[in-house]
Amino acid sequence: MDIEAEIRALQLDSADNNATLIPEDAKPEEVEMTDKVEEEGMTDEVDTKSQPVQAEPKVKDKEVADMDCAEVPDEMESQKKRHLNVVFIGHVDAGKSTTGGQILFLSGQVDDRTIQKYEKEAKDKSRESWYMAYIMDTNEEERVKGKTVEVGRAQFETETTRFTILDAPGHKSYVPNMISGASQADIGVLVISARKGEFETGYERGGQTREHVQLAKTLGVSKLLVVVNKMDDHTVNWSKERYDEIESKMVPFLRSSGYNVKKDVQFLPISGLVGTNMKTRVDKNICPWWNGPCLFEALDSVEVPVRDPKGPYRMPIIDKFKDMGTVVMGKVESGSICEGDSLLVMPNKAPVKVLAVYCDEDKVRRAGPGENLRVRLSGIEEEDISSGFVLSSVVKPIPTVTEFTAQLQILELLENAIFTAGYKAVLHIHSVVEECEIVELLQQIDPKTKKPMKKKVLFVKNGAVVVCRIQVNSLICVEKFSDFPQLGRFTLRTEGKTIAVGKVTDLPSRSSA
């Protein structure tokens, strides 16, 4: 791929570089121009274009390593329901947990008695309106403060799909937890509060509406349902004007963050608290102007990303514990796993055997890509595993590196900071969180021409696209973005703020295990 195609694939380019950072400044003409670009297929090509690169090694690996696994019927397939991981993202208090809780209530998983109990508990804590959020916010700290801290996890089903809900925290202190949730997701529900003043705070610079969208895109959340929530609130009252205002402000921003708004984004109004326009369409008496789908319908019709069960096995480990052996948790990014498989825990190349595989609460014999699993292993102690390690195919293990080349888009540096060799940040790539240092800036990319600039680059500022070498202190597992987008996208954060998003473009030649 040439550098230009690579930038496009990163989806971080935009017709006007300012639009990336100051979307509200985008003029109507610019928006139209970007639209045209989208129609011509100039943006948002990551998933389609980068897939074929994987085809060859996948088949080979499958033939050698996974023959037995392929014969085993996939319990998940036989259920005839597809599976999607959905992350709920958005600014603090937008209503993510309330909406997630309401989904569970409407799908019959929480009974009235439990709701009454939560209503009482919420009242006792002077948080009356939080009772629906208590379904997702299960620990005491979350309930007392009314803020999600850990990513909540739950399952529900519609006619055609099994969903795993990942309820991310909105508060800026917990962005690393949100990153972990989003990295496990296929699609996102971006919850926006329509309440007077709340949309504005979430959307302004430094608000998590923006940060979450940029992170979600970088972490591979390919489709977004944007739910305009709290439509029942007395400052909104199902106002079409308010809904249109939010949609019209969000569209240019989503576009500049790399989303193809026509193909990959869908807006709809809801009330998570009351449960309106969620399982059934909103009554015309309440909202005469809405003719679109309700949330369950929209979720049901989201297309599943293409996944190849025959790829080399890759499962980044997000957590581990002891339970009759060593149990690791994570989402399968490539390939299939079967009871009895021999695999490696990378980067320490530890050979392990798969004793059991659990998908949600069920023990399964085989599971394919996209599933969130718990895998019981023999051959390794729990203390020898860290999150960020990758359960990996033996025949084609994931590369391990202490250095890689990447293309970065600088979003917003801390005040007075300059981005130059020696810059230190925290790298988040799949489930890895590691301190890193920029060791060399190689090239700056001209945002207008998308071509590398001729003159040598020593430092760059906000909005720049730059190719650089990045170093970490210990071995980490990464892939080139062009081979495995999910394992080759990353974010850099400093002092709790996301300062850049990027993709791995090259690995040192000795990197393979």
Q: Exactly one of 17, 62, 65, 146 binds ligand GTP (CB under 6 A); which one?
A: 146
Grouping H, G, I as helix, E, B as strand and the rest as coil, residue 495 is: coil
Grouping H, G, I as helix, E, B as strand and the rest as coil, residue 18 is: helix
Q: Exactly one of 58, 83, 96, 320 binds ligand GTP (CB under 6 A); which one?
A: 96
Strand partners, 353: 342, 378
Q: Toward ligand GTP, which CB reaches closer, 88 or 419?
A: 88
Q: Exactly one of 31, 94, 391, 441 binds ligand GTP (CB under 6 A); which one?
A: 94
Q: From the list Mg ion, ligand GTP, none, which binds 92 (C-beta under 5 to 8 Å, kind-based)?
A: ligand GTP
Dist CA 160 CA 297 (whole Å): 10
CB of 431 to ligand GTP, least distance (A): 21
Dist CA 367 CA 373 (whole Å): 8
What region, left, alpha or beta, does residue 46 occupy, with left being phi > 0 and alpha being psi -120 to 50 degrees?
alpha
Query: Using the rule CB under 6 A, is 296 a contact of ligand GTP?
Result: no
Please provide residue 157's backbone torsions phi and psi, each rounded to the nearest 5 degrees. Answer: -125, 145
Q: Toward Mg ion, which CB reaches closer, 88 or 423?
A: 88
CB of 294 to ligand GTP, least distance (A): 14
Query: Using the rule CB under 6 A, is 370 a contact of ligand GTP?
Result: no
Q: Exactly one of 60, 171, 365, 469 binds ligand GTP (CB under 6 A); which one?
A: 171
Q: Exactly one of 20, 85, 97, 260 binds ligand GTP (CB under 6 A); which one?
A: 97
3-state SS of 163-210 is: EEEEECCCCHHHHHHHHHHHHCCCEEEEEEECCCCHHHHHHCCCCHHH
Q: From the list ligand GTP, Mg ion, none, which binds 476 (C-beta under 5 to 8 Å, kind-based)?
A: none
Dihedral angle computed from the Cα positions of residues 373, 374, 380 and 383, in that order, rounded to the nearest 10 degrees: 110
What region, left, alpha or beta, does residue 185 occupy, with left being phi > 0 and alpha being psi -120 to 50 degrees?
beta
From the list 430, 435, 354, the residue with the least C-alpha distance to 387 is: 430
CB of 199 to ligand GTP, least distance (A): 13
Dist CA 10 CA 45 (whole Å): 8
Which positions from 185 through 214 interact with ligand GTP, judged by CB under 6 A? 191
Per-residue CA distances from 397 to 193, 311, 315, 343 (Å): 44, 11, 11, 9
Q: Exactly one of 30, 186, 211, 232 binds ligand GTP (CB under 6 A); which one?
A: 232
C-alpha distance across the termini of the chain, in Å: 25
Q: Toward ligand GTP, which CB reaches closer, 232 or 479?
A: 232
Q: Exactly one of 233, 341, 371, 412 binds ligand GTP (CB under 6 A); which one?
A: 233
Query: Hey, what amino acid is at 55?
Result: A
For residue 300, give both structure tokens.
């049901």
Query: Using the rule CB under 6 A, is 264 a contact of ligand GTP?
Result: no
Per-residue CA distances from 409 to 95, 239, 257, 406, 495 (Å): 30, 37, 11, 10, 18
From the list 480, 506, 503, the residue with the least C-alpha distance to 490 is: 503
Q: Toward ligand GTP, which CB reaches closer, 95 or 252?
A: 95
Strand partners, 123: none
Q: From the list Mg ion, ligand GTP, none, which binds 26 (C-beta under 5 to 8 Å, kind-based)?
A: none
Dist CA 249 CA 31 (whole Å): 11
From the list 287, 265, 503, the residue with the least C-alpha distance to 404 is: 503
From the list 295, 291, 297, 367, the residue with the least C-alpha distance to 329 is: 367
Q: Toward ligand GTP, which CB reaches closer, 229 or 393?
A: 229
Query: Using the rule CB under 6 A, is 175 a contact of ligand GTP?
Result: no
Q: Exactly one of 15, 133, 346, 499 binds ligand GTP (CB under 6 A); which one?
A: 133
Q: From the list Mg ion, ligand GTP, none, which binds 146 (C-beta under 5 to 8 Å, kind-based)?
A: ligand GTP
Q: Toward ligand GTP, which CB reaches closer, 278 or 441?
A: 278
Q: Please return the burial class of 505, using the count of CB atoms within 10 Å of its CB with bins 0-12, 13-18 and 19+.
A: buried
The DSSP code sequence of 329-344 is EEE--BS-EETT-EEE
Query: Using the rule CB under 6 A, is 143 a contact of ligand GTP?
Result: no
Q: Toward ligand GTP, which CB reaches closer, 271 or 505?
A: 271
Q: Exactly one of 92, 187, 338, 359 binds ligand GTP (CB under 6 A); which one?
A: 92
CB of 50 to ligand GTP, least distance (A): 32
Query: Using the rule CB under 6 A, is 130 a contact of ligand GTP?
Result: yes
Residues belonging to the chain: 513
Stretch that binds ligand GTP, among 6-14, 92-100, 278-286, 385-393 (CB under 6 A): 92-100
CB of 152 to Mg ion, least distance (A): 7
Dist CA 7 CA 29 (whole Å): 23
CB of 422 to ligand GTP, least distance (A): 35
Dist CA 259 CA 257 (whole Å): 6
Q: From the list Mg ion, ligand GTP, none, which binds 310 (C-beta under 5 to 8 Å, kind-based)?
A: none
Q: From the list Mg ion, ligand GTP, none, which binds 269 (C-beta under 5 to 8 Å, kind-based)?
A: none
Residues that bind Mg ion (CB under 5 A): 96-97, 148
CB of 127 to ligand GTP, least distance (A): 7
Q: From the list ligand GTP, Mg ion, none, which binds 38 (C-beta under 5 to 8 Å, kind-based)?
A: none
Residue nearest to ligand GTP (CB): 170
Q: From the list Mg ion, ligand GTP, none, which binds 171 (C-beta under 5 to 8 Å, kind-based)?
A: ligand GTP
Is the link from the previous residue into 347 a cis peptide, with omega within 30 of 0? yes
Query: Using the rule CB under 6 A, is 492 a contact of ligand GTP?
Result: no
For residue 259, give both structure tokens.
């989303």
Residues near ligand GTP, by CB under 6 A:
92-98, 129-130, 133, 146-148, 169-171, 191, 229-230, 232-233, 271-273
